């Protein structure tokens, strides 16, 4: 919690039990209201719809990320580990537009997965997601300066902003 800038409030009453309130800061907030509730679903607006392969081993994070992406109009294929992601890609008739992967995974790192996919689909856009501090990520990614990376916890605006940038860049390159 401290690493993310959040905090936990604990209340306990004998015979009533214990209640834990967990507060995460809202990312990118300009106002002082950093712990406000996330608002209404993100409108698709002018966003380009893309086929996204989401690779995340934490179910709750995967489901939340999928919800952000689908509400924005993207088609999401989900994998809970890298082996599952590889199996999905082997069965596809058309490649995905974007790979979103956690950096630290149990079977293979996100960067290793991205490198494997890059050999098959060199134009594939990749967005990394991590809950680790930058200094901890250097064992997985040598140079973080030019890597599209979203830190957990993130808001839909932060995630979709990075997705939009990557998809726009991919369109310009093609």
* Structural domains of the chain sorted by starting position, each given as residue range(s) with its CATH number in brackets: 51-173 (3.40.50.2300)
Nearest in space to 168 (alpha carbons), one of 105, 125, 134: 125
Top mean-pLDDT range of 8-17, 42-51, 71-80: 71-80
End-to-end CA distance of the chain: 41
Q: How many CA atoms lie within 13 A of 48 on its CB side?
A: 15
pLDDT tens digits, one per residue of 94-112: 889 999 999 888 889 888 8
What was the pLDDT predicted at 75? 94
Map tokens 């069965």 to a residue: 91
Q: Which of 6-10, 40-44, 128-132 is predicted most confidently?
A: 128-132
Q: How many helices (H) and strands (E) does the chain have?
A: 5, 7
Say how far apart CA 88 and CA 154 lie, in whole Å.
26
């Amino acid at each position: 919690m401290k690493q993310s800038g959040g905090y936990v409030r604990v209340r306990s009453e004998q015979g009533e039990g214990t209640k834990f309130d967990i507060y995460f800061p809202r990312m990118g907030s300009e106002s002082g209201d950093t712990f406000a509730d996330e608002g209404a679903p993100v409108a698709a607006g002018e966003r380009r719809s893309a086929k996204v392969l989401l690779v995340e081993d934490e179910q709750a994070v995967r489901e939340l990320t999928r919800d952000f992406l689908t509400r924005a109009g993207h088609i999401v294929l989900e994998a809970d580990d890298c082996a599952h992601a590889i199996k999905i890609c082997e069965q596809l008739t058309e490649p995905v537009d974007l790979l979103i992967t956690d950096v630290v995974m149990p079977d293979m790192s996100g960067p290793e997965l991205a490198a494997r996919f890059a050999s098959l689909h060199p134009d594939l856009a990749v967005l990394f997601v991590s809950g680790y501090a930058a200094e901890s990520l250097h064992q997985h990614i040598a140079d973080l300066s030019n890597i599209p990376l979203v830190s957990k916890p993130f808001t839909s605006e932060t995630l979709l902003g990075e997705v939009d940038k990557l998809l726009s860049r991919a369109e310009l390159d093609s």
